[in-house]
């Protein structure tokens, strides 16, 4: 009998180049590489011209299967991968015309009404598959959230056997609706309310991964966009957006604008471009936490403490995925700034944008999408068509949005269901010692 040829698994290297290569499974289970770098696939496979030729005739799920196969095809059997993709994408991501040459890619049609549902649901299913396959002991997922990650990850992982999720969030810095989405679930989800900022939450998670004693005590992984299983699947909807624009005859000179915080979302889009997706250029829209914008302007990356804004999911002072972008472009500021430009907006400008878009064109933006929309409205050149990512439903930021437009916002049923739950959280100080002591008791 001829033995079936062994699969060559995709290798993942660390952006810090000190740790040895990992398999997908190792990269997903570890989250962060041993040298604190972020994992990158050794190879980014271009998709064939024939795929792009007929992309407009394919469904979201069909497109996503092709993209998923390029990333994960060597590591996950085709039927399993297809099932994961179809289970993940149980909702649409329509492109909606907002005004001439500006379109909104609505990424808020999933269970928690933000784009993070895609990565959160995919990662939960992929990790679940690896755990079942290996008969691993319990895996503990640590996730720091500035708002939407916690809800997407918690809901994606809810009830997945063999996985416990700890959501760390900054006390008083997420909206009530966001908070309810991950503090009311119970079961395998624990919410940890940190007396600090998002950066403090992220630091606690990073420290936990570096702590040998803790790692010997429990298997830990991260569901932040540092995890390849979270950030790579976000490429799916860039391809689908292109397909929809092509169907409309609007795909030439396409500019995609991404409201950015930790830069996982836009990085997935940049991977798409590397795979041949015909996007002319990207815009990263920042709020006042404009570390990336300053980098584009000066060539110097200077992280600084985050400040609270009304686009709170973008309040990040040291975006993790910057390391991936830098690596993707060989560290070249020139290469990066030739494909990505940036914008930065104050809360006042965000408010003004939400209000004007609502009054003048009847489209209700959330504060994050507002940054994306405004950057396109200001930067688009003649002959270009823009798509911005509407990263969350405006009702997730109810008080903010209602105060801006002066009328009530309809709350989708999915969101109302969360509101009736009872908040349960574990209070935590921002120093690592107390967090570690808490985990060691579990
Ligand atoms: C997380 C989030 C962002 C920022 O995405 P990154 O991948 O961190 O850049 C933008 N908008 C909303 C609504 C979010 O939840």
Question: H or E element: which one contains 145?
Answer: none
Q: Are 108 and 390 in contact (CB under 8 A)?
A: yes
| Closest-CA residue to 37 (of 73, 69, 13) | 13
Per DSSP bridges, beta strands 39-41 and 12-14 are antiparallel
Query: Which residue in the block uniquely carries the two structure tokens 């049923």?
Result: 413
Q: Are 34 and 7 in contact (CB under 8 A)?
A: no
Tell me how far apart the alpha carbons of residues 220 and 166 are, in angstroms, rounded to a whole number: 10
Per DSSP bridges, beta strands 340-344 and 281-286 are parallel
Residues contacting 240, CB < 8 A, separation 6+ = 60, 63, 64, 93
CB of 313 sitting under 6 A from ligand 1: yes
Half-sphere exposure (CA, 13 Å, Cβ side) for 395? 15
Q: Are 405 and 364 in contact (CB under 8 A)?
A: yes
CB of 225 sitting under 6 A from ligand 1: yes
CB of 260 sitting under 6 A from ligand 1: yes
CB of 148 sitting under 6 A from ligand 1: yes
Which of 109, 120, 148, 150 has most ligand 1 atoms within 8 Å of CB, for mutation? 148
- Whose Cα sits closest to atom 15 in ligand 1? 148
- Whose Cα sits closest to atom 8 in ligand 1? 262
Q: Relative to the CA of 396, which ligand 1 atom is closest?
A: 13
Tell me how far apart the alpha carbons of residues 146 and 397 are, in angstroms, rounded to a whole number: 13
Q: What is the pLDDT along the chain (442 residues), one digit of tens a residue?
A: 444 445 689 999 999 999 999 999 999 988 889 898 999 999 999 999 999 999 999 999 999 999 999 999 999 999 999 999 999 999 999 999 999 999 999 999 999 999 999 999 999 999 999 988 887 788 999 999 977 889 999 999 998 888 999 999 999 998 888 899 999 999 999 999 999 998 899 899 989 988 999 999 999 988 887 899 999 999 999 999 999 999 999 999 999 999 999 999 999 999 999 999 999 999 999 999 999 999 999 999 999 998 999 999 999 999 999 999 999 999 999 999 999 999 999 999 999 999 999 999 999 999 999 999 999 999 999 999 999 999 999 999 999 999 999 999 999 998 888 888 999 999 999 999 999 999 999 8
Question: H or E element: which one contains 201?
Answer: helix 198-210
Residues taking part in catalysis: 116
pTM reported for the whole predicted model: 0.93
Per-residue buried b or exposed e for 207-239, using 16+ beta carbons within 10 Å of the residue's own CB: ebbebeebeeeebbbbbbbbbbbbbbbbbbbbb
Q: For residue 97, how many other CB atoms are within 10 A of its CB?
A: 13
Tell me how far apart the alpha carbons of residues 431 and 385 are, in angstroms, rounded to a whole number: 47
């Amino acid at each position: 009998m001829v033995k079936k040829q062994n699969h060559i698994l995709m290798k993942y290297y660390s952006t810090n180049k000190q740790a040895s290569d990992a398999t997908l499974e190792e990269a997903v289970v570890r989250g962060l590489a041993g040298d604190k770098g972020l994992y990158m696939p050794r190879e980014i496979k271009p998709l064939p011209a024939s795929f792009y030729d007929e992309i407009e005739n394919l469904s979201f799920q069909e497109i996503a299967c092709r993209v998923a196969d390029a990333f994960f095809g060597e590591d996950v059997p085709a039927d399993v991968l297809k099932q994961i993709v179809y289970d993940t994408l149980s909702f649409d991501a329509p492109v909606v015309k907002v005004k001439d040459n500006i379109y909104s890619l609505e990424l808020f049609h999933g269970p928690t009404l933000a784009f993070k549902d895609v990565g959160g649901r995919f990662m939960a299913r992929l990790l679940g598959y690896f755990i079942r396959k290996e008969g691993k002991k319990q895996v503990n997922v640590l996730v720091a959230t500035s708002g939407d990650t916690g809800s997407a990850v918690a809901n994606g992982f809810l009830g997945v056997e063999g996985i416990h999720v700890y959501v760390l969030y900054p006390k008083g810095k997420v909206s009530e609706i966001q908070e309810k989405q991950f503090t009311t679930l119970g079961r395998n989800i624990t919410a940890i309310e940190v007396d600090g900022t998002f950066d403090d939450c992220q630091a606690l998670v990073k420290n936990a991964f570096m702590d040998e004693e803790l790692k010997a005590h429990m298997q830990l992984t991260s569901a932040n966009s540092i995890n390849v299983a979270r950030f790579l699947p976000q490429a799916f909807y860039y391809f689908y957006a292109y397909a929809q624009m092509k169907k409309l005859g609007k795909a030439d000179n396409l500019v995609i604008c991404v409201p950015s915080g930790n830069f996982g979302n836009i990085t997935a889009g940049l991977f798409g471009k590397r795979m041949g997706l015909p996007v002319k250029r990207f815009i990263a829209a920042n709020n006042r936490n404009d570390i990336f914008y300053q980098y584009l302007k000066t060539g110097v990356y200077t992280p600084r403490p985050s400040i609270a804004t009304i686009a709170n999911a973008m309040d990040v002072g040291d975006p993790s995925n910057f390391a991936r972008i830098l690596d993707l472009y060989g560290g070249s500021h020139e290469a990066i700034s030739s494909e990505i430009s940036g914008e930065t907006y104050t809360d006042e400008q965000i408010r003004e944008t939400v209000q004007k878009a609502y009054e003048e064109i009847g489209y209700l933006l959330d504060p994050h999408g507002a940054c994306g929309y405004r950057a396109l409205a200001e930067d688009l050149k003649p002959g270009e068509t823009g798509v911005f990512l509407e990263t969350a439903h405006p009702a997730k930021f109810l008080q903010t949005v209602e105060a801006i437009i002066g009328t009530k916002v309809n709350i989708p049923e999915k969101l109302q269901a969360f509101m009736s739950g009872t908040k349960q959280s574990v209070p935590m100080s921002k120093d690592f010692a107390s967090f570690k002591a808490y985990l060691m008791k579990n």
